[in-house]
Structure 1
Amino acid sequence: MNCVYCQQRITRVLSISEILSFRPINPYELCSSCQKKFQLLNRRSLCKGCSRECSDLLCNDCLLWCKKYPNYSFQHTALFHYDNEMSQWFEEYKFRGNYQLRFSFSKELVCFFKKRKDYLIVPIPLSEQRYKERGFNQVEGLLSGAGISYIDCLKRINNDAPQSKKKRQERLSGRQPFGLALSNHQLLENRKVLLVDDIYTTGRTLFFASEILLQYPLKKLETFSLAR
């Protein structure tokens, strides 16, 4: 097989567990050189609210979010640093439309989500216009590439400029872009919900989405992103 990112030939010996599982081997993965480009976050030195590198229990941003959402005990988990290498990967995946890259971090995603089998997985949606332009929802792509089931609970009700095109203050001062897509909201009641995005920058997108979901009696709400 070839590396899904750099196309370098990958030769490796299957593990005993892979052989005994009798499951098809994923032909799309990163080579060892590409794997080293992406840095996992050190869980021992992160803000407990947003997974930002921080020496304090909560970073300054999360202290402000606590004031804005005093009744929401938010907890966000991210896996990787959003550094230059990860930025280039997202450029190729999201904006150049290399959809095969959705498999790049499947192993890490499977490892994370297998501990949350009792959660309802809810991806952040795209607007219809953005979906037509891109051809796919990048968050749903990551989930489906890892074989993770999800449900589209949310919908975009406006079509603002992409977050990547906005400055920090523009992101924080935006209007609520989401609404509930379910006709039967009882599906959410007394459920653990994991809200999933691709990148956590200011947190504004996830907090907007959380506002919609928290209108219903959830058992618990957590958020997740591939990168932070």
Structure 2
Amino acid sequence: MSTTPPAAYRPTDRTVPTRSRERASYDREVVHSVLDAGYVCHLGFIRDGRPVVLPTLYARVGEQVYVHGSTGSRPLRTAGRAGDAGMPVCLTVTHVDGLVLARSAFHHSINYRSAVLHGDAYAVTDHDERTMALDRIVDHIVPGRADDSRRANAKELARTAVLRLAIEEVSVKTRTGGPEDEPEDLELPYWTGVVPVAPVYGPPVPAGDLAPGIAPPGYLPAG
């Protein structure tokens, strides 16, 4: 019996957009690529009957997303008490790839890639899994860094919490291309086009207390 996962995730009522459905994708590789390209996610949950959204670090490991936080954080404490039921959450990751400037104000837009995950998050309590997840989060931000730094000690681990969310109910929505002006606006005398947006890494800046002779590691961007 094959254990190869299907090429696409199954659409649900929560993952099918009500507008611009042609921009949605459930392709597994596309979903993974959008998640892997980011560092910060926004985690939405209900607290005291009201919606709350918090930014935090994350990493994808196979078909799971691990989210980093503090044991003093309300959602992480809530997830720890949720038991088998987990804590209902919505996790989003968004990349802006371009500013789309149209002739009309209405048709201004952005080119983007956005992943939205729904599901139940669980507090990771197993020591080995939690250590693995924290290493992967560090390496997700700077590949190779986990082995090139002191890992958290027992006191630090006690202050650190991790949530696990399975990638099951998920969709990606993207926009690419140029402006989409109305035919009657094509002769208007306004510049129109796309301003590309991309992250830029500068040269590493050493800490003020860095010991002399320690050079930047090779895995850091040269800037």
Scaled by the length of structure 1, what TM-score is found?
0.26
Larger helix fraction of residues: 1
* Bigger Rg, which one: 2
The TM-score, its normalising length taken from structure 2, stands at: 0.26
Which of the two has greater strand per residue? 2
